[in-house]
Structure 1
Amino acid sequence: MDLILKRNLEHQTIPIERLCSIFSNVGIQKPMKSIENPIIDIKSPYLYQNIKRLQEDLPSNMQGTSQNEADYLNIDIKMETGTGKTYVYTKAIYELNKLYGFKKFIVAVPSLAIKAGTANFMKIQSNINHFKNVCGYKTEIKLRTVESIKTKKGSKRYVPNSIRDFVTSSNLQRNTIEVLLVNMQHLKESKNGVLVRDDYDSHIEGYYRPIDAISATRPIFLIDEPHRFSRENATFKFIEEQVKPQLIIRFGATFPSKFIGRGRNRVEVKDYQNLIYDLNIHKAFEQNLIKGIAKEHVESPDNEEEVFKILTMKKGEFVRFQKTELNEQGQAIKTTKELKTHDSLTLLSPKLSGITIDGILATKVNLSNGEEKFTGDVFFADVFATSYVRESIRLAIKRHFETERENFKRKFKIKTLALFFIDDIHSYRDNDMKEPYLKNIFEEELRGKLDEEINKCNIFELEYREYLEESLANITETHAGYFSQDNVSTEEEIEKEVNTILFDKERLLSLVDKNGKTNTTRFIFSKWTLKEGWDNPNIFTIAKLRSSGSDNSKLQEIGRGLRLPVDETGNRIENETFTLNYIVDFTEKDFVKKLEEEIYGETSFEQRVLTSEQIEKIATNKGLSKEEVLIDLMGKGFISFDREIKTDKLQEFINEYPEIFNKLDKNRVRDRNVDKNKKVAIRKENYLKLKDLWEQLNEKYYLHFDTIADEVLISIVSDVITEDLITTTVRRTKRETSEMVQGELIFNVTLDSIDISDDDTLNYGTFLKVVAENTNISIPLIHTGIVRASKLKKIENAFFTKDTVRSFSVYFKQRIYDELLKIYSYKKLPNTTVHPTELTEENGNPRDFVKTSAYLGVNERKGTPLENYLYDTILFDSEIEENNINENISSVEVYGKIPKRTMQIPFIDGSTYSPDFMYVIKDKEGKPTINLVVESKGVNKKQDLRGIEDHKIEAANKLFDMVKEVGINDEYGGQTKLEDIGDVLRRKGISVTYTRQTNNEKLLEIINDLIESE
């Protein structure tokens, strides 16, 4: 599977355009030597005028132009992790070459893992084709990597070819761009450093030190992950003094800090220099460019937050335990204690009374209660029988399968991955030092969970059942690891795992391998080797089986899993909201709070005076008068007498009154431990009024498709080929079309001609086989369609390529989607039960409390709900939901928010969607006979809903129409008496109206229109 890159995403296009516009009216001199870049007039006043103009939309604390004393220009571009930073700086290289002729670029990264990811991105053929065929660049990047060299004593030392080729490439070669990829370990003075040693037996352009030759090219220098390249460290000084680039461009989500001022005035600020673009995490969440985050940790049953870890042991002598607990300030305090044979574990905690140490082996402790504990084991005192690590793994596996099952149901499946961070390679890799207990625990828990998930599969999940059974049969194939020590390993299996994780992202994302075998590898284990730079779009769960400490950036920690996922066709899914499950150590229980502090530390706050609207909102929520609110806020020091917000109290003010500021939507960053503890009572008298409607909504339905005729499939194959959606001619077609993602047409692209290389061409039989695998259409039908197309246009042999397969698959599935819209229907699942549900027990009686209150919403409004509301608490996810809950409409008998995951209506693209509210409404005679289901959408008008949203509205109406028909047939045994239909529908409660509500639509008007139409 190839990942399909998008060309014109706004958040990626803007920084490139800004970067290139910096040189408007700036003198760029032709190079004096054939090996060097054009020369930028660093002193040009236009440079800094252009930069200042580009900063107008940035917060004031991020503005400011600065010119170094050194002879280079620094430009900063801030992009949150997961938003396509590598794509942006790669495309920027192409664009700078195209516009200004720059040919020599250096990309510096902080680690080998990031280096591998960057190299893979620039070298993979599908990406090269994207920049060439889709973006229209006539040049191609020649990637050279700097590697360490090993020479035998007495042998000649030659300058590495990668460096020689980079330097000597002439700027007269118009069709190539030279990119030198280097990790920071090489950017320093070192006796045997590959770049700085001067004892080579040859020179480059007269230079014996490679770094001098590189400097002579006047390179453009790009820094990835700039927070690792502080201006104060030796690496950055080496870049300035030895590489001597004309231009340094720093691309990153996090930038280094610096201190300004002295004494009490000394403050820490981010070290931005000529920042021209700021895509921070707040904006990334708002624009739905990354996944949301749901943090969770394993809790002690009695809330005594202390854990024990076996650090080490010596056979027959002692065991060293480490105790970790939180003090009153929430800080983790660690203490150690050694115990000997026959010692009581009460020396560690009174809760371990009655347990003594019976024996101490090399890596195992035998306890008097019959249990065994190993070096590295972590456990709560009060759940000693089950280790803390095991509980964390169990929780992570549970969240993984919740997500995987939903992703597998989709029309275009998503391979779901999980990442585990651990602190000891020997706990995972087989070794002679100790038993790999962590791997053993994981496989034990995974086996049990696979058995459970297999048993849950119904008759419509046969394919998923096969996937799970293959996983169970070959459990070792489901997981893989990458650790820094693996780089020196000679074991074939370990090398295979490393290559899969670092270099072959596409293989990791595929559900089947190139031979058609099921690919079940989806659990990745690593230390912090993969903490920065490396990521994978389909990571949905990250489990930290160790604490990372308080100094690490929370934004960096979650960055491995923030990228939006891709489906099995390689398409990035942009029209949905996804969540990253984040399992942390209990010592990081306040992770969400610290993450929010970091987010808002990165987000400038420009408001200076509290508005009347904000005061009114606080007054309404608190049940106070405006005067009382002002007195309260002044008393807390949040505002002055003239309502001016005091900056020294700003963060505290925001934390206490998030609802009046532009706070992050709590749906995007939430704490599951807090959510699940919230108890929301069900008003049982109101439930009884909704009972019929609720039970109907919890009936189970499935999608049914009529068969698409073979003739239709053949015509689609022929049409896709003959309509020039795929072209291999030398001309460049100007045809505009729309790309298909998850069955939705979302943006226009210009399809350029495809230059064919010999490596891409497939023989006809192979072409048919690969197309069949990608489309699930039989080879004879595809062949017949191609033959039909060949009678309408000439098809050259060069047409049959990998690129054609990919393009054909995209447009074929677009046409199939259109056909599926015509032939699908809903059918009721036989022999299913309604109860239990989120609101009811197995016997159908209402619960005392909602089973999972988080499904009602992550925001809470204080106060008592209206009497006819189903619950005693106001929980909501959006402003439109909050308004609906608080709107008092006299014609509404009873209403309630539908818990998420209750009514999941399946759609033809494999996704599901759920309405938000249910209402029982009084008719014109005042009788509660009208049932209404509402889906609230946070857009201003229905025209803002995308095409797929309209299709889903039609699907919901189709479902409710089917429910109505089923109810009538059930009542009359299939015989419909028209004069009695109305009575039947009302008596059985099966007549339901479904509608969507946008921000500009008042619920009262919707309900009144419905009453009038009855």
Structure 2
Amino acid sequence: MQFKFSQYQYQTDAADAVCDVFDGQPLQDGVSYIRDTGIRRPTSPALQPAQDAFDIPELRPVQEMLGHFDADDDTGYRNADLLLDGERLLANIKNVQRRQNLTESPKLYTDPAGAVELDVEMETGTGKTFVYTKTMFELNRRYGWSKFIVVVPSIAIREGVAKSLDMTGDYFYTSGRDGNEGYGKKLHSFIYDSSNLNRLDEFAQSSDIQVMVINMQAFNTSMKENGRSRDARIIFSERDDFGSRRPIDVISASHPIMILDEPQKMGGKATQAGIRLFKPLFTLNYSATHKIKHDLVYALDALDAYNQRLVKRIEVKGFELNNMRGTDGYLYLQDVIVSKNRAPQARIEYKKLSSAGKVVTTSGLFDEGDDVYTASGGLEAYRDGWRIAPDGIVPDGLEPGRTGYVRFMNGETLGKGRIMNDGSEADMRRVQIRETILSHLHKEEHLWARGIKCLSLFFIDEVAKYRQYDDDGEPLNGEYADMFEQEYDRCVHDFVENRLDDGSGYLDWLRTTHGRYVHKGYFSIDKHGHSIDSKVKRGSEDSDDISAYDLILKNKERLLSFDEPTRFIFSHSALREGWDNPNVFQICTLKHSDNEVGKRQEVGRGLRLCVNREGVRQDRNLLSDADFLDVNLLTVIASESYERFAESLQKDIETDLRERPIVINDAFFAKTCVPADKLGPEYAGLGDVSFSKDEARDIVYALTVDRLIDRDGKLTDKYKEERFGKDAVELLPEPLRKKVPAIRLVLDSVVEGTTKVLIGNALKRKVHGNPLNANWQKKEFQELWRRINHKYAYTVSFDDDELVKNAVKAIDERLVVSKLSYTVTRGIQKENASRNELADRTHFHRNDSYTGGLDVDASNGVRYDLLGEIAQAATITRRCAARILKSIRPDRFLMFRDNPEQFIARVGRLIVQEKANMVVDHICYDRIEGGYDSSIFTKGGNNRDEAEGYQASKCVQDWVFPDGRIESDFAKDLDNAAEVAVYAKLPRGFQIPTPVGNYAPDWAVAFRDDSGLKHLFFVAETKGSLESFDLRGIENSKIACAKRLFNQLDLADGTRYEQATTYQTLLDEVKALQ
């Protein structure tokens, strides 16, 4: 099978964008110069060949392909000089940018030697190599330039570029110019090799298009003139075997055009210094994510590529383990954080027992001396020695050649990016493999009739998990290979059994396959022919193993053939860059998700549009939009939850989107907000300024009538001269004119390119601080605060026999301990993408989810002090705990084996609930010394979105941040009620102690003296319908204790406590007390 190439408009646009920068440059084809042929050693006449010794007819095509290389001919060909001055080049660049709807460059970017630098932005999977190959042909056709050097960041990309240049040769020769007509030329490419310098003579002497490909590592090493490396000595020294010439002089004499593929991965100064030594005519930078910006002449970012249907749609399958065990002592060191003002800290992921009795995975910052056992909520697996040792947080590089790590008091060390004691990893990997196979089978059945081979790609970080060897060197399955074969055979059996035969032949074919023969590993190979882990140099994520990439590229076309049984591929994660097979439809990374590899990079290997068995790409020229999205669908089987993966992926995409020129219209002003601190002190009274839809419409009307914006919503030259002047102001309605300073600031920021800094989203304005206001000083509230601002202690007594009886009954009837399970959540990209959706993280939407079970042993060898743990959880004696456990049903006691931590937490909780039911009638409160300072209302400040709050009028603070709709409605009703004088949303710090935990009421309300109500001061609770498990049990007991404190004991000077779901309910209760 051979790939069939097609012409796309974006490819032509990208090539034209570069070429049009040089509009006005004359065509000069084949500029010759006398090249340095070097000093040749004399040879004996007897050893010299006859003049026609090399005139062999069979070799003539080869000689023609090499450009008639003649070692004795001193004629060389170089790129003609660039004759356009800087002013003309910048004018051309701006014309191109206007045509491409790009932000215009303020100046011409050049390197220190004066060579122009241009940027081309192209999304991963859209074919950068193809585009810059076409650009080379176009530059040659228009201007005669023929010498190019392509610099790439890794051996993986180098090998891929070389393969692409070879594959596209015939296409560009015959039809690559416009899809029908070709260039009638072929380019001659080679990979730079310091051991084969004679190829540089061919590069210099040929008048044909010559392309040298070099990877960054060789490039940067070679460019160190005083370096000790072999490459440096060769390229900068006069070599006897190279005619006493310096190779760098031979290359630079041609004034090559430099093409940098993925320049952001190449490091800055070393690469730039190296480029200057080549004396380039100019430099072209091709990337999806430019870090250093130059003159951008073409952009096709992730948003453009997806909306134009140039890449696959992405579907995500995310996983969450439910009812996790806390028995394994799982730890993952995410990072070691170094700052100037404090000692290093470790960000560690660990398991924690939640207040609801569930074990969850969380992360936090740890200092020297911090104890994981304490942070985990007392999980037994962390009890022995998991405290960070003195000087136990070691940053990267502090010890030569070693990344950061943490050392614990028990002597264990945990390296950055490493996992320890993950008892659920094997469960997770099996689920990922199973779900990848299921996705594959469904996709494969769908693609079968279209003649499209479906491939799935697994990335692993340790070859031994897939392939092992016995003592005789014979290959054996590793853990993942065994898992795969077991799951494949099971999934295929279930798939075939549950399908009706549609006559396509797919099910018959599927029955003949066996898990053993459908997967294959692609890894680095040692001298014995064994698969080994790919070596990665420090500071890199990719391997430089040429043999592994040769294997991947050599089999690229074969893997697309139905004659090849391999459909599932396992490869080392360090070889990720080498994979760009268009028919990868599933990608699964069988390793812990970390921050080292971005989510875009993780999905990037599968974004290319697929091809059928004839090599024809399945694009929008061939398929309807619905069929395109249906066929070109990449499923990512994540190693984390759907929400977390989708959030990170959208963040990655949004971060790398190009800046688009701002269109000034109604929507632009309606969604903007100018912070008060940007307006200056003279306009302090305005506060944060935003614009309603009507105001936005009036502003755009004024700008249009005064000709300050054009029909496309862009600022005109008149605006740049006059700004928002008197004529425009007079076109605004009078009430809007006070906002003119903000309008001018917004428009000026568009001109200056600082819009993002000055303008916030009106829907996400922040409340910075929420101080006490004048309502705090009202006599009604001061009297209310005097009555309730006390602290209390309680005493309580109850009968142990009654507690044991009630607790045993509750455990037998209500105890549920969950077994380990997993939930799969599937989400997919919306059909079209927008920047706002990416910013709001709403570009993906959830499709469905389902739950499966995992049959595992939960004990994991951890020993528990069961009586002590239950006694501590329920705050009872060990003797009482023993009586309860001895009396419960045996099947309930056996639940301990399913999930020990959850058993302890839930048994303890049931005992606490029964204890709570008993204590209310026997509790006694006493007032103790002390009260609360007013600062509890403002402690910690506020920095919350206005949209989350309600701007109140009778509250002691300007803003109320309610917990849900019921509280929001309650606050609004308090403001509108004529009977209410003042109220407060009580802070969490205002608490009443109870035997089942501290309790914080919601509201304090003071009614007006003239309201006609007998009881004027109330503490209120709004908890909706009170239907949750907590509110039926423990929370109900807390509320009952609070009610007893305020209503039955004479400790609160007559202040009443009531529950209410609405203000009307509270008012009815108040009137009932009359």
1:296 is paired with a residue whose SS is strand
Aligned twin of 2:464: 426
1:559 aligns with 2:604: yes
1:536 is paired with a residue whose SS is coil
Q: Name the CA shift for 1:662/1:438 in 2 (closer, same or farther; >3 Å).
A: closer
Q: Name the CA shift for 1:467/1:71 in 2 (closer, same or farther; >3 Å).
A: farther
1:546 aligns with 2:591: yes
Matching of residues 368-407 of structure 1 within 5 Å: 387-407=427-447
1:416 aligns with 2:454: yes
2:514 is paired with a residue whose SS is helix
Q: Name the CA shift for 1:461/1:145 in 2 (closer, same or farther; >3 Å).
A: farther
Q: 212, 215, 218: which one pairs with 1:180? A: 212
Q: Name the CA shift for 1:464/1:233 in 2 (closer, same or farther; >3 Å).
A: farther
2: CA distance, partners of 1:75 / 1:37: 18
Give the aligned residue type for 1:15.
A
Aligned twin of 2:252: 215
Aligned twin of 1:441: 483
1:296 aligns with 2:317: yes
1:5 aligns with 2:5: yes
Q: Name the CA shift for 1:37/1:78 in 2 (closer, same or farther; >3 Å).
A: same
Matching of residues 227-626 of structure 1 within 5 Å: 227-230=264-267, 232-240=268-276, 242-256=277-291, 271-302=292-323, 324=350, 332=363, 346-348=380-382, 387-410=427-450, 413-431=451-469, 436-461=478-503, 463-472=505-514, 474-475=516-517, 477-482=518-523, 485-486=524-525, 490=529, 499-512=550-563, 518-531=564-577, 534-547=579-592, 549-550=594-595, 552-574=597-619, 575=623, 576-577=628-629, 578-586=632-640, 589-601=643-655, 602-604=657-659, 606-607=661-662, 611=666
Matching of residues 62-211 of structure 1 within 5 Å: 64-124=107-167, 127-135=168-176, 136-147=182-193, 149=195, 159-167=196-204, 169-171=205-207, 176-188=208-220, 189=224, 190-194=227-231, 196-197=233-234, 202=240, 204=242, 207-208=245-246, 210-211=247-248
Give the aligned residue type for 1:280.
D
Per-residue CA distance 1:472-506 (angstroms, 9 max, x = gap): 1643x423323xx4386745999998545223321
Give the aligned residue type for 2:33.
M
Superposition deviation, residue 147 in structure 1: 3.7
- Is 1:307–1:325's contact at 8 Å kept on the other side of the alignment? no
1: CA distance, partners of 2:324 / 2:693: 40
Give the aligned residue type for 1:591.
F
Superposition deviation, residue 276 in structure 1: 0.3
Superposition deviation, residue 552 in structure 1: 4.2
Give the aligned residue type for 2:257.
I
1: CA distance, partners of 2:559 / 2:245: 43
Per-residue CA distance 1:413-434 (angstroms, 9 max, x = gap): 1111122222223322325799
RMSD, matched Cα: 5.0
- Is 1:117–1:503's contact at 8 Å kept on the other side of the alignment? no
Q: Whose radius of gyration is greater, 1 or 2?
A: 2
- Is 1:205–1:213's contact at 8 Å kept on the other side of the alignment? no
Give the aligned residue type for 1:179.
V
Per-residue CA distance 1:14-37 (angstroms, 9 max, x = gap): 011121122211367644342422
Give the aligned residue type for 1:244.
K
Matching of residues 684-723 of structure 1 within 5 Å: none
- Is 1:223–1:251's contact at 8 Å kept on the other side of the alignment? yes
2: CA distance, partners of 1:545 / 1:651: 40
Per-residue CA distance 1:207-228 (angstroms, 9 max, x = gap): 23x2232112211111111211
- Is 1:253–1:280's contact at 8 Å kept on the other side of the alignment? yes
**TM-score, reference length from structure 1:** 0.50
1:300 is paired with a residue whose SS is strand
1: CA distance, partners of 2:463 / 2:281: 43
2: CA distance, partners of 1:492 / 1:302: 38
Give the aligned residue type for 1:568.
R
1: CA distance, partners of 2:362 / 2:193: 42
Aligned twin of 1:771: none
Superposition deviation, residue 275 in structure 1: 1.1
2: CA distance, partners of 1:502 / 1:670: 37
Q: Name the CA shift for 1:615/1:551 in 2 (closer, same or farther; >3 Å).
A: same
1: CA distance, partners of 2:32 / 2:756: 51
1: CA distance, partners of 2:831 / 2:665: 13
Per-residue CA distance 1:532-590 (angstroms, 9 max, x = gap): x7412111111122345335443333211111111111111113113221222327843
Per-residue CA distance 1:617-642 (angstroms, 9 max, x = gap): 9xxxxxxx979999xxxxxxx99986
Q: Name the CA shift for 1:569/1:678 in 2 (closer, same or farther; >3 Å).
A: same
1: CA distance, partners of 2:332 / 2:756: 46
1: CA distance, partners of 2:260 / 2:242: 25
Superposition deviation, residue 41 in structure 1: 3.0
Superposition deviation, residue 379 in structure 1: 8.5
Give the aligned residue type for 1:187.
F
- Is 1:285–1:668's contact at 8 Å kept on the other side of the alignment? no
2: CA distance, partners of 1:585 / 1:499: 29
2: CA distance, partners of 1:454 / 1:590: 34
Give the aligned residue type for 1:294.
E
2:259 is paired with a residue whose SS is strand
Q: Name the CA shift for 1:673/1:441 in 2 (closer, same or farther; >3 Å).
A: farther
1:505 is paired with a residue whose SS is coil
2: CA distance, partners of 1:327 / 1:91: 59
Gaps of 5+ in 2: 35-75, 177-181, 334-347, 355-359, 385-417, 534-545, 673-691, 698-738, 748-754, 767-829, 852-1074
Matching of residues 15-30 of structure 1 within 5 Å: 15-26=14-25, 30=31
- Is 2:650–2:838's contact at 8 Å kept on the other side of the alignment? no
1:39 is paired with a residue whose SS is coil
Q: 207, 226, 229: which one pairs with 2:263? A: 226
Equivalenced residues, count = 585
- Is 1:224–1:252's contact at 8 Å kept on the other side of the alignment? yes
Give the aligned residue type for 2:449.
K
Q: Name the CA shift for 1:399/1:473 in 2 (closer, same or farther; >3 Å).
A: closer
Q: Name the CA shift for 1:492/1:388 in 2 (closer, same or farther; >3 Å).
A: closer
Q: Name the CA shift for 1:140/1:338 in 2 (closer, same or farther; >3 Å).
A: same
Q: Name the CA shift for 1:498/1:668 in 2 (closer, same or farther; >3 Å).
A: farther
Q: Name the CA shift for 1:599/1:305 in 2 (closer, same or farther; >3 Å).
A: farther
1:74 is paired with a residue whose SS is strand
Matching of residues 659-698 of structure 1 within 5 Å: 662-663=834-835, 674-676=846-848
1: CA distance, partners of 2:668 / 2:239: 76
**TM-score, reference length from structure 2:** 0.48
Aligned twin of 2:45: none
1: CA distance, partners of 2:105 / 2:848: 39
1: CA distance, partners of 2:165 / 2:643: 39
Q: Name the CA shift for 1:37/1:614 in 2 (closer, same or farther; >3 Å).
A: closer
Per-residue CA distance 1:673-709 (angstroms, 9 max, x = gap): 9443699xxxxxxxxxxxxxxxxxxxxxxxxxxxxxx
1: CA distance, partners of 2:305 / 2:328: 36
Superposition deviation, residue 461 in structure 1: 4.9
1:143 is paired with a residue whose SS is strand
